[in-house]
Amino acid sequence: MNDLHDLELLLRSRVPILTIETRDELPVKQLFASLALRMAMPVMAWSATTGLQRIDLDLAPQRHASDPQQALGQIKATPSPTIYLLMDFHPYLEDAYNIRLLKEIALDYHSLGHTLVFVSHALKLPPEIAFLGAAFSLSMPDRAQLEAMIREEASHWASANPGAQVKTDRKTLDLVTGQLRGLTASDARRVIRSIIFDDGAIRADDLDRVTRARYRMLEANGAISCEFDTTDFAEVGGLRNLKRWIERRRDAFINPTNPRDLPRGILLVGVQGGGKSLAAKAVAGLWSLPLLRLDFGTLYNKFFGETERNLREALQAAGAMAPCVLWIDEIEKAIASGDNDNGTSRRILGNLLTWMAEREAPVFIVATANAIEDLPPELIRKGRLDEIFFVDLPDAATRAEILAIHLRKREHKPMDFDLPELARLTEGFSGAELEQAIVAATYLAREQQAVLSTAHIRDEITRTRPLSRVMAEKIAALRHWAQTRTVPAN
């Protein structure tokens, strides 16, 4: 009802052009069919396959108007005010003749009274008509609407199975409805239909199916990927100070009493291979929340404006999955300002900063960076991020802990190895280099047809030249810089 009310207000404000970006056409048509009754105005829909068709009445399509120029000409010649939904019209917005026709229809609004509504998955109006348009966004179904969908699908199942009723209970229904929040009406209905028509019941074991289906649909744009089970991420060697900081804020984030004080996020900087990515995963593991990764590489698009739209969709998906942890890896590579991308980096930064400052959904950001000097100061100020942690090379105790973790992962007993000696020998090794030493030692033991031992690992350690020695000056400068500017993660 809110969409119907808001849309009616927009149309009564005499806007000649509307744009609706959505992949979900059916709710749009239903919305305008209801609007036709309220405003006593006919609604026509156009597509390249059907031509013009009245959607508020059951009338046959005018297939002769399937050509876009012919359809626009007919719209311009129609004397009575009408709402026209132009479905997937975006490929024809590059034609100068079409643009001129659209502009003339819009400029003649005072006499024609037509409203042109562009409906497509992606829309950018040409500058000739953009100033005449306004954007409208469909809201996601609320809890009451989702429950109504569940009742409708349960009724359909009961009709197909005479004498039977869908089995569920109030608690399970509430949990399933909560997990469906953030999906479009069509996506939510598909998930509901799949669990009901599977066995005629909505049970507690359906909750995991709903959650996974929800994540698969929301990550469909490719820029967001999801980790469902994050409990293993809590097992990370070291990072004691970071873990304490995270644990202290767990309850405030998951059960907030004041949304204004919600933890916002952290920035992790440090030595390459030192475990920044693992630390980002550890946050989700310690809070038992889903981990989302924002991949800036898939955001960038050669077409003007597409990259910003991809970012908006990715951030909307993150908000829909809340509460969650959003991991942005090597953030400096994505938003460092440059002069060779037509200003895309600056627009991306602006959109990201606005979202970081204004978001209300419980999305905790964990950004990692190798070159903090490339980041703009407005990104890392307090209020957008809570703290900057430095992930340093592990000390001896942490190195022993990391070695034990990787030995257990490979089904070895840490007590069978001389971990204090190995920790002493690996001074200056990063977490990644410690893991690789065990991997290489495993190959060596296999070649010798022997059981992995301390000697195998020791041999591989002596052959390794860690990054802290190869790039000693650079890493020393980074560690010196971090001493007075960041909080130690360990």
Q: Among residues 74, 103, 135, which one ends one of the domains?
A: 135
> Rounded to whole angstroms, how far apart are CA atoms 193 and 189?
6
Residue 451's CATH number: 1.10.8.60
In the predicted structure, residue 342 carries a pLDDT above the cut 70 = no
Residues 7 and 125 in one domain: yes
pLDDT tens across 81-123, in order? 999 999 999 999 999 999 999 999 999 999 999 999 999 987 8
Supply the pLDDT for residue 233. 67
pLDDT score recorded for residue 89: 95
Q: Which residue has the higher pLDDT, 252 or 334?
A: 252
Q: Is residue 461 predicted with pLDDT exceeding 60?
A: yes
Judgement on whether residues 345 and 433 belong to the same structural domain of the protein: no
Q: Per-residue confidence at 366, pLDDT binned at 50, 70, 90?
A: very high
Statement: residue 422 has pLDDT above 80: yes
Q: What are the residue ranges of helices labelled H in 270-395?
A: 276-287, 296-299, 306-321, 331-335, 344-358, 377-380
Give the amino acid at 267. Answer: L
pLDDT of res. 303: 45
Q: Between residues 25 and 231, which one has the greater pLDDT?
A: 25
Res 341 pLDDT > 60: no
Q: How confident is the model at residue 304 (pLDDT cuts 50, 70, 90)?
A: very low
Q: Is residue 242 part of a domain?
A: no
d(CA 487, CA 490): 9
- Output the DSSP codes for 394-433: --HHHHHHHHHHHHHHTT--GGGS-HHHHHHHTTT--HHH
Enter the pTM of the model.
0.70
Asked if 215 and 179 touch (Cβ cutoff 8 Å), the reply is: no
Which tokens sit at 165? 């009723």
267 lies in the same domain as 379: yes
Query: Looking at residue 406, what is its pLDDT?
Result: 92
On whether both 319 and 376 belong to a single domain, the answer is: yes
Asked if residue 453 has pLDDT above 90, the reply is: yes
Quickly state the pLDDT bin for 485 (edges 50, 70, 90): confident
- Print the domain residue range for 128: 2-135
Domain boundary among 135, 153, 182: 135
Task: Look at 266-275, 297-306, 404-413, 471-480 and tell me which has the smallest mean pLDDT.
Answer: 297-306
Q: How many folded domains does the chain comprise? A: 4
Which two structure tokens, joined as six digits, stand for 384? 């957008």
Is the same domain home to 448 and 377? no
**Domain match, 278 and 372 both:** yes
Q: What is the DSSP letter of 233?
A: G
Instruction: Give the CA dihedral 427, 428, 433, 438, nearest 10 degrees.
Output: 0
- For residue 260, give the DSSP letter: G
Residue 90: CATH number of its domain: 3.40.50.300
Residue 72 belongs to some domain of the structure: yes
Cβ proximity of 178 and 211 under 8 Å: no
One domain for residues 153 and 169: yes
Same domain, 373 and 400: no
Q: Are residues 289 and 384 in the same domain?
A: yes
Q: Are 96 and 29 members of one domain?
A: yes
Tell me if 484 is assigned to some domain: no
Residues 349, 336: Cα–Cα separation, whole Å: 8
Lowest-pLDDT range of 103-107, 185-189, 337-341, 469-473: 337-341
Question: Environment class of residue 96 by beta-carbon count within 10 Å: exposed (0-12), middle (13-18) or buried (19+)?
Answer: exposed
Query: Which whole number is the average pLDDT over 340-348?
Result: 69
What are the pLDDT digits (tens) for 166-220?
Answer: 898 888 888 888 878 777 788 888 889 989 998 899 988 888 788 777 777 766 6
Tokens 């409708």: give the residue.
Answer: 152
- Rounded CA separation 31/82 (Å): 15
pLDDT digits 0-9 by tens, 71-84: 999 999 999 999 99
Range 329-339 average pLDDT: 69
> 143-160 and 185-199 helices cross at what angle (nearest 10)?
40
- 235 inside domain: no
Q: From residue 75, how far is each of 86, 109, 112, 178, 250 by CA, in Å?
A: 11, 12, 9, 44, 58
The pLDDT assigned to 301 comes to: 55
In-domain check, residue 231: no
Domain match, 62 and 124 both: yes
DSSP string, 38-63: HHT--EEEEETTTEEEETTTT---BG
Of 375, 390, 405, which closes a domain?
390
Which residue in 180, 150, 209, 143 sits closest to 320, CA to CA? 180
Task: Specify if 227 maps to a domain.
Answer: no
Residue 339 has pLDDT above 70, yes or no: no
Distance from C-alpha of 454 to C-alpha of 438, rounded to nearest angstrom? 10
Q: Is residue 359 part of a domain?
A: yes
The 10s digit of each residue's pLDDT in 280-294 is 888 888 888 888 888
Looking at the domain assignment, is residue 357 inside a domain?
A: yes
Pair 315, 290 in one domain: yes
Q: For residue 285, which amino acid is it?
A: G
Task: Provide the token pair at 337.
Answer: 């300002």
* % the chain with pLDDT above 90: 38
Segment 140-181, tens digit of pLDDT: 788 888 899 999 999 999 999 988 888 988 888 888 888 787
